[in-house]
Amino acid sequence: MIHVYMDDYRRVPPGFTLARTTEECLLLLRECEVGVLSLDYDMGPKDETGGYVAKTIVLEALFPREIYLHTSSAPGRKEMFELLYPAKPEETAVHYGPMPEEKLREIASGASGS
């Protein structure tokens, strides 16, 4: 199981696989078992947005175990949450914001079972 951090700019936290584009993120979701997914919204001028990824997750049922929204775009966070939360399966947690430091430390240490 892997944890995926989708962002075109920020440094990837320890314990995560970095997806620098929306297509990289979707490829990882399609091909791997994903425990935690952390999404940015604004992915640069030549890429889609996190909203596109959220829509595709819903349409293709690509839900990981947990989703965090670390974007600094308030409208983008709202869009992604409103797409993901109503469609999520019972076993998936969708969080309206970034990962807490404790969760980041848990994943970095390799102790995360989610």
Under DSSP, the state recorded for 24 is: H
Instruction: With beta carbons less than 8 A apart as the criterion, state whether 98 and 38 touch.
Output: yes
Would you say domain 2-108 falls under CATH 3.40.50.2300? yes
Sketch the domain layout of the chain as residue ranges: 2-108
- Per-residue pLDDT band at 24 (split at 50, 70, 90): very high
Q: Which amino acid is at 80?
A: M
Using one digit for the tens of pLDDT, what is the confidence trace for 39-83?
Answer: 999 999 999 999 999 999 999 999 999 999 999 999 999 999 999
Paired tokens of 76: 């983008």
